[in-house]
Chain A
Amino acid sequence: MKNNMPILEARNLRVERAGVAILDVPELTIKEGEVLSLIGPNGAGKTTLLVSLCHLFKNVSGNIFFRGREVGKDLSVSEYRKRYAMVFQEPLLFNTTVFENVAAGLKFRRMGKGEIEEVVKENLEQFGIRHLKDRSARTLSGGEAQRVALARAFAVKPDVLLLDEPFSSLDPPTRESLIDDLERIIRESRTTTLFATHDRTEALRLSDRIAVMNEGKIHQLGSPEEVMNHPADEFVASFVGIETILDGTVVRESRGTLTVSVSGYEIEAIGEVHPGERVILCIRPENVTIAKNSKGMATSARNVFQGKIEKVTPLGLFQKISIDCGFPIVAYVTNDSVKSLSLEEGKIINVSFKATAIHVMKKRRA
């Protein structure tokens, strides 16, 4: 990166509907060339944030800066709109040929005919849809239509690309191949990208940074590793797939090792929290091991508990085992292990997890 000036910066973005804030983002900076994902459940405000950043809503308060120039002041809104492109969840293609669709943004910019021909061809090629050039956009399948929508956005060579859940209405194989292509094109072109999704695996795959949103607010913004393993709060933890979230109180602390009391049981974890303070323990399901008895358990796994299997839920490649150890805990176990350990509901087993595998958060006081 040559300079440190963010390509896009938003300050005090706020959208209210009927007196309720549906978006409240005090600050957001997007760096040149990065892929930033916005993840969160439906209704978290992802679309609202993208559309607000695009300056497409009238009732947004706050300031947007594009390469340091304030939109609406130092940079006119119409100029700003020519710097980015957005792709929505629905392809929103125009009722004409594929060629004309991809050419639309170029025509708005009054590009010459020969050049348009060139650029459109190039972009159709990129997304592997050159053969669809003369087809009517209304006759395309969902995947083809979304490819056209992406090609149309890339054709204008946007400085910032905004994607609003562009894959969510596609079937898994179609989605996979489209994400593959998009990933390659984004990396090759080094296009700064903002990508909204409710699918954390999509986000993990594409992003340099992830912002977790809920109820119009950004709860955490950080690298995928940070967000996945060190969630800032309970909402982020549950959204990034941490199945076990336990409330507890620190009873002892010595040299970075905590002993936390959870429903009367003592769990060891790593962290620096004073005794007496309330904490939340997050344990990823893949970090929980199950054994028939406590003998074969790894010695570094400091926490070993006995529990009863409450529920076994198949998840495809592995199964989700919900266990009651006096407190609830969830483990992911491969199908093979489920068979060899003959795990079934009602069975008593041993559960272990390392102290280092636990993410400790201080409980926020309400």
Chain B
Amino acid sequence: MELILEGIKKAFTLLFMLDREVLDITFLSLKVSGIATMISVFIGVSTGATIALNEFPGKRVVVSFVNTGMGVPPVVVGLFVTIFLWRNGPLGFLGILYTPLAIIIAQAIIATPIVMGITIAAMQQLPKKLRLQILALGASRLQMVWMLIKEARMSLLAAVMAGFGGVISEIGASIMVGGNIKGYSRVLTTATVMETSKGNFDVAIALSIILLLLAYSINLILTHIQQKERPR
């Protein structure tokens, strides 16, 4: 019990002193997961919208494939990204294994199906006639798609939240492809694991608190925007 109390006390000291190392880890985490989420939103929303708005043979297979992708364990993604980026692997020549870039790639692969799946569901929930209505007001196809994305913006915000929440707290892939290199590719989750295994509970608790606060505040901002958009 004393261990925990002592840990929490030390953790808050670290936080309030704005410990250099803790700050660096936090910023890297934000940067990596933020970029990964942006990539996944770009790919997920555009591809998701295309899938949702078009009828083609095998659509169900594709949608179920995407939905399965929403639940793929990060370690599996980590494993495959590692194999691809391995020195003798197909993309080994890039030399990016154990770099923050590798983490971004892995996290984007994890988040994309999440964003895509929610996008497909959101677009399919819009009234079917809405598309006809937009076209019947003289919209081009591109204008129509943009209009529909705007109509589904609430659900798409949820997609962004789910994507970001998924990758910021993810550990398996980050540790495998990032390598947890101090001051270079160490992020909040990988650092927490390492400090815990070393018995440095104070640091681990401090990192966990930051992780929780991050997840909470980002969701708070997004929820705030979402609530503001609601009808009065």
A interface footprint on B138-168 (CB within 8 Å = 1, 0 otherwise):
1110010001001101000000000000000
Q: Are B232 and A136 in contact (CB under 8 A)?
A: yes
Q: Please, how many angstroms separate the alpha-carbon atoms of A104 and B135 in the complex?
A: 11
Q: Please, how many angstroms separate the alpha-carbon atoms of A17 and B212 in the complex?
A: 54
Given A88-B129, A92-B130 in contact, is the A56-B136 Cβ separation under 8 Å?
yes
Q: Are B231 and A94 in contact (CB under 8 A)?
A: no
The minimal Cβ–Cβ distance linking A266 to chain B, given in whole angstroms, is 54
Q: Is B5 in contact with chain A by the CB < 8 A criterion?
A: no
Which residues of B104-130 are within 8 A (CB) of A? 127, 129-130
Q: Chain A: which residue is nearest B148 at the CB level?
A: A94
A-B contact count (CB 8 A): 59
Which of B127, B130, B132, B137 lies in contact with A108, CB distance below 8 A?
B137
Q: Are A156 and B137 in contact (CB under 8 A)?
A: yes
Interface-located stretch among A79-87, A190-198, A251-259, A305-313: A79-87
Q: Are A153 and B137 in contact (CB under 8 A)?
A: yes
Q: Are B135 and A94 in contact (CB under 8 A)?
A: no
Q: Chain B: which residue is nearest A55 at the CB level?
A: B135
The minimal Cβ–Cβ distance linking A145 to chain B, given in whole angstroms, is 12
Q: Are A56 and B132 in contact (CB under 8 A)?
A: yes
Q: Chain A: which residue is nearest B229 at the CB level?
A: A95
Q: Is A187 in contact with chain B by the CB < 8 A criterion?
A: no
Q: Please, how many angstroms separate the alpha-carbon atoms of A56 and B232 in the complex?
A: 34
Q: Chain B: which residue is nearest A164 at the CB level?
A: B129
B151 neighbours in A (Cβ, 8 Å)? 94-95
Q: Is A359 in contact with chain B by the CB < 8 A criterion?
A: no
Q: Please, how many angstroms separate the alpha-carbon atoms of A85 and B127 in the complex?
A: 18
Residues of A participating in the B interface, judged by any CB pair closer than 8 Å = 51, 54, 56, 78, 81-82, 84-86, 88, 90, 92, 94-96, 104-105, 108-109, 136, 138-139, 152-153, 156, 162
Report 9 cross-chain contacts, Cβ distance below 8 Å, ordered by A residue: A54-B135, A81-B135, A82-B138, A88-B132, A92-B133, A95-B153, A104-B137, A108-B140, A136-B232
The minimal Cβ–Cβ distance linking B145 to chain A, given in whole angstroms, is 13
Q: Chain A: which residue is nearest B141 at the CB level?
A: A78
The minimal Cβ–Cβ distance linking A66 to chain B, given in whole angstroms, is 14
Q: Are A136 and B231 in contact (CB under 8 A)?
A: yes
Q: Please, how many angstroms separate the alpha-carbon atoms of A144 and B151 in the complex?
A: 20
A interface footprint on B211-231 (CB within 8 Å = 1, 0 otherwise):
000000000000000000101
The minimal Cβ–Cβ distance linking B59 to chain A, given in whole angstroms, is 16
Given A90-B127, A94-B150, A138-B231 in contact, is the A108-B143 Cβ separation under 8 Å?
yes
Q: Are A85 and B231 in contact (CB under 8 A)?
A: no
Q: Are A94 and B147 in contact (CB under 8 A)?
A: yes
Q: Are A108 and B139 in contact (CB under 8 A)?
A: yes
Q: Please, how many angstroms separate the alpha-carbon atoms of A102 and B149 in the complex?
A: 19
Q: Please, how many angstroms separate the alpha-carbon atoms of A54 and B134 in the complex?
A: 12
Beyond A54-B135, A108-B140, A136-B231, 14 extra complex contacts between A and B, CB < 8 Å: A54-B136, A56-B135, A56-B136, A78-B140, A81-B136, A82-B138, A84-B136, A86-B136, A90-B127, A90-B129, A92-B130, A94-B150, A108-B137, A138-B231
Q: Chain A: which residue is nearest B131 at the CB level?
A: A56
A84 neighbours in B (Cβ, 8 Å)? 136
Q: Are A108 and B138 in contact (CB under 8 A)?
A: yes
A85 neighbours in B (Cβ, 8 Å)? 136-138
B153 neighbours in A (Cβ, 8 Å)? 95
B132 neighbours in A (Cβ, 8 Å)? 51, 54, 56, 86, 88
Which of A94, A96, A156 lies in contact with B138, CB distance below 8 A?
A156
Q: Please, how many angstroms separate the alpha-carbon atoms of A136 and B232 in the complex?
A: 8
Q: Are A152 and B129 in contact (CB under 8 A)?
A: no
The minimal Cβ–Cβ distance linking B135 to chain A, given in whole angstroms, is 6
The minimal Cβ–Cβ distance linking B13 to chain A, given in whole angstroms, is 48
A108 neighbours in B (Cβ, 8 Å)? 137-140, 143
Q: Which 7 pairs show the lowest CB-CB distances between chains A and B?
A: A86-B136, A105-B137, A138-B231, A82-B138, A92-B133, A108-B139, A108-B138
Q: Are B137 and A139 in contact (CB under 8 A)?
A: no
